[in-house]
Amino acid sequence: MRVVLAEDLALLRDGLTRLLEAFDFQVVAAVDNGPALLPALIEHRPDVAVVDVRLPPTFTDEGLQAAIAARAEIPGLPVLVLSQHVEPLYARELLSDRKGGVGYLLKDRISNVAQFVDAVRRVADGGTAMDPEVVSQLLARRGPLAVLTAREREVLGEMAEGRSNAAIAAKLFVTEKAVSKHINNIFTKLGMPPSDDDNRRVLAVLTYLNG
């Protein structure tokens, strides 16, 4: 699986490269600035891009801008964004295009190797990987969620992290039938039609939550 990596900190960039390669990913390009990222993505057309939001020269949103521009050239390009903080604006822009896998992780999650590698693979496969803290803050921003029960909010949070009905049931110690009922109630209360497509379902929920 081919990866383009964008990270300005040399030690972290080298560490991520070694980590990914240890799990059979091929890092075809590792860049340290925004202007170099877009050409790398266009040239290599990787299976997944792992991109820091803030890159030189301005350390604002160069990484995200390059990723969004690349997705315009390569529809469905899977992108996993890394950030030091929860930045809802970036999450909104990333989720505005529902084609292809997307993810948003806080950098401190990289310390959990298994979770990070699973997130990269999930996004490369067209899925969604959202950091629980990002999900929590997105959930907290929307008043309409007051109509949901505590259990429905819990299920919604699990959905937003990309878990299947079976995985949600196992984590919450309930049946899949109960999870399905909660999900149908969530979509009804939020005014969105249910979908059998897990990735589209998660993206629709997060796009709604992020306004």
pLDDT in tens, the chain (211 residues): 999 999 999 999 999 999 999 999 999 999 999 999 999 999 999 999 999 988 999 888 889 889 989 998 999 999 999 988 777 666 666 766 667 888 888 887 777 898 899 999 999 998 888 887 777 666 666 556 678 888 988 888 888 777 889 999 999 999 999 999 998 888 888 777 655 555 556 655 665 565 5
- 151/124 same-domain check: no
The last residue of a domain, from among 83, 101, 130: 130
- 51/113 same-domain check: yes
Question: Which CATH number goes with the domain that contains 61?
Answer: 3.40.50.2300
- 103/141 same-domain check: no
The boundaries of the domain holding residue 48 are 2-130
- 117/141 same-domain check: no
- H, E, C per residue of the chain: CEEEEECCCHHHHHHHHHHHHHCCCEEEEEECCHHHHHHHHHHHCCCEEEEECCCCCCCCCHHHHHHHHHHHHCCCCCEEEEECCCCHHHHHHHHCCCCCCEEEEEHHHHHCHHHHHHHHHHHHCCCEEECHHHHHHHHHHCHHHHHCCHHHHHHHHHHHCCCCHHHHHHHHCCCHHHHHHHHHHHHHHHCCCCCCCHHHHHHHHHHHHCC
- 114/140 same-domain check: no
The last residue of a domain, from among 90, 106, 130: 130
Question: Which CATH number goes with the domain that contains 146?
Answer: 1.10.10.10
The last residue of a domain, from among 102, 130, 158: 130
- 43/107 same-domain check: yes
- 144/183 same-domain check: yes
